[in-house]
Each structure stands twice: as structure tokens, then as C-alpha cells.
Amino acid sequence: MKPTIHSVAQEAGVSISTVSKVIHNTGSISEQTRKKVFQAMNKLNYHPDVAAASLRGKKTKVIGLLVPDISNPFYAEVARSIEDRSRELGFNVMMCNTDNDAEKEKEYLSLLTSQRIDGIVVASAFRSTDLLEGLLEKGIPIALIASEIPKLSIDTVTVDDYQGGYLATSYLLSLGHKRIAIIVENVRSNIPRLEAFRDAMEEAELPILDGYIIKTEAMIQKGYEGARQLLSLQERPTAIFACNDLLAAGVIQAAKEMGFNIPEDVSVVGFDNTVLSTTTSPMLTTVAQPVKEMGAKVIDLLTKEMQTSKPYKERLLLSPELMVRQSTAALP
């Protein structure tokens, strides 16, 4: 049976009026009670009908934004570009940081729908795709940025990750490097970057040596640990392609601590072209994503969907650009 507000109240151990207050964000409700209600809504897969009704009728002029990690400069810049374009069009943005956690994704989706937002932008790999599918069926407009969910028919704006990975690897090959390693994040967008790395190395008829592919999380510390592992190999790489700037910053830090000079001893390439790329020493050669354009386009697609549901969704694939700085050099 379809869950009701009554079943949510029973599950949470509160009154129906308390659930109603949480849904409509009215009254004085403790954070503990609010969390219990959201957890019950998630468990029962309950989404207030009032949210869908508001999307068909009165508009709130609020867009929800889900990001995986706002401490990552890339997602901070994505959020800023989305907010800038939203404000130009008269919308406010409610941002939620999921920490790549499936439970948080569920809680925030319940929060956003209960707040009667006009649409949602998802800027993460997103684990709870079944929940997104349920919201789409209810008529809630959703768009993706910097990620893809192939099984959903949904407006998407992303960069050509394969082209970006190929640009980075080809550039290192052009500098004469043959022993090239890669540190890749365990997310969907990094799969084509790794594929491009493999293809470029194969086209150059060069092997990828054992231990030269490291899969990890997007953290400076993980880039640091990966670089120490790579640079401790008996046959160490002369170049490292880190698949985002956070990882690349960790690579630079580790290389320096181990007594290697950059780029004389090891060249480093990142991906994203965040503020980190110009604050590292030396400044980082990286693959730039057109973040400002991506943010503007995803909001344009979402607002178009708000006005009239399109039978065919759009997938915009933007081109990356290699930004050459001081962290790379020709192999001596």
C-alpha cells in the first residue's frame, strides 16, 4: 500500500500534526524529532503529494542543489556557477551536502520535496537513483551536472571526460614520458578518464607497469598516499596524472617530502582547474572543466523543464581544455 502521513507518524512515534509541521517547516520542532520524521519518510519511501502539487501550481522560486562534498573546490565552484545563473533568473538555491552518503541523499531529497522546491540539480555520483526515479515519476524536474545516470531519462550537463583524460596523457607522452602512472577517483566520471589513459598508452605502444593505477577517494591525503606508494616503486613513474586537483595537490606534497623536484624529477597533471591549481607550488598543469558554462546551462535546462515537461531530455557534452603550467616538463 502507498505510505501515508499516518503511517509516517506511526513509524516515527510522533503525532500526525508533528509530521505535518516537519513537512511544511512550520512550528517549533526539535532537530532530533525532525530527523526521526525524515528517517521514517525515507524508510517508507514517502514523498508528500503537496510537493508535486506545488510544482504543478504555485512556484516557490527555490531550486535544490545536491553536492557530494562542498569542501572540494570543484563542487564549490559548481555551486557558485549554479547560484549565479539561478539568481539571474529570479531563483534562490537551497544547497545540501551529501558527503557521498546514501542515507544523507535520502534525507535531503525528503527535505527538498517537503520544502516544495521547484526543481533539483544533482551534482554528484548519487547512489539513491531509485529515489530520483520516483521523484521524476511525480513530475519533479531534475537535472544532472558533472555526472551521469544512464538509466534515467534526465537533462544532463557534463564535460567530455574521455577527451580530458586523453589530453592529459597525450601531453605527458609528448614531453617524452614513458613511465606514466594514474591516480583515479572511484566515481563514474573517472571511468572514461582512465579508459582514455589506457588508450593513449596503448596507441604509444607503451605498457602500464604494475602498480601504476591507483583507485581512491577525492582527498588531498589520498593523493599524498598514492604518490608515496608510486614514488617508492623500484621503477618509479616520471609522470603522474591525478584525476582531480585535490589528488594532484597531494601528489605534489608527497613528492616534495620525498625529496623529488617538480617537474624535473616527476611531472604532475591534475583535472578540474580549480583554485588549487594556481595556489600549489609549482602551479599545476591541469585539465579545465568549463564550470561557469556548465552551471548556466544546467539551470537553463532545468527551468525549461519546469515550464513544460519535454518528451526528450538533453545531454550536453562540453569540451575540456588543457591548462599548461609549471608542474610538467620534458623528460631530461
Digitized pLDDT (tens) for each residue of the chain, 332 residues in all = 678 888 888 999 998 888 887 776 666 788 788 888 888 888 888 876 544 444 444 578 899 999 998 999 999 999 999 999 999 999 999 999 988 888 888 888 888 887 778 999 999 777 777 888 888 888 889 999 998 888 888 999 999 999 999 999 999 999 999 999 999 998 888 999 999 999 999 999 999 999 999 999 999 999 999 999 999 999 999 999 999 999 999 999 999 999 999 999 999 999 999 999 999 999 999 999 999 999 999 999 999 998 877 778 899 999 999 999 999 999 98
Q: 300 with 153, same domain?
A: yes
Rounded to whole angstroms, how far apart are CA atoms 160 and 302? 20
| 218 inside domain | yes
CA distance readout (Å), 140 to 40, 51, 80, 137, 147: 21, 8, 23, 7, 19
| 327 inside domain | no
Q: 270 with 191, same domain?
A: yes
Q: 169 with 81, same domain?
A: no
Q: 174 with 58, same domain?
A: no
Q: 64 with 1, same domain?
A: no
Query: Quick count: other Cβ atoms within 10 Å of Cβ 54?
Result: 18
Rounded to whole angstroms, how far apart are CA atoms 85 and 286? 26
Question: Residue 269's pLDDT is what?
Answer: 98
Q: 262 with 207, same domain?
A: yes
For residue 240, the domain's CATH number is 3.40.50.2300
Q: 198 with 271, same domain?
A: yes
How many domains is the chain partitioned into structurally? 3
CA 271 to chain centre: 13
**Cell match 607550488: residue?**
281
Amino acid at site 240 = I
Q: 166 with 285, same domain?
A: yes
Q: 174 with 243, same domain?
A: yes
Q: 69 with 83, same domain?
A: yes
| 309 inside domain | yes
Rounded to whole angstroms, how far apart are CA atoms 284 and 229? 21
CA distance readout (Å), 110 to 161, 288, 302: 31, 34, 19
Q: 145 with 180, same domain?
A: no
Question: Residue 54's pLDDT is what?
Answer: 46
Question: Residue 242's pLDDT is what?
Answer: 98
What's the pTM value of the predicted model, to 2 decimals? Answer: 0.81
| 332 inside domain | no
Rounded to whole angstroms, how far apart are CA atoms 225 and 219? 10
| 236 inside domain | yes
Question: Residue 236's pLDDT is what?
Answer: 97
Cell numbers found for residue 178:
614513458
Question: Residue 26's pLDDT is what?
Answer: 65
For residue 7, the domain's CATH number is 1.10.260.40
Q: 186 with 133, same domain?
A: no
| 229 inside domain | yes
- Parent domain of 76: 51-159+292-318
Question: Residue 53's pLDDT is what?
Answer: 45
Query: Quick count: other Cβ atoms within 10 Å of Cβ 279?
Result: 12
| 179 inside domain | yes
Question: Residue 133's pLDDT is what?
Answer: 84
| 328 inside domain | no
Angle at 102 between CA 97 and CA 105, to 5 degrees: 45
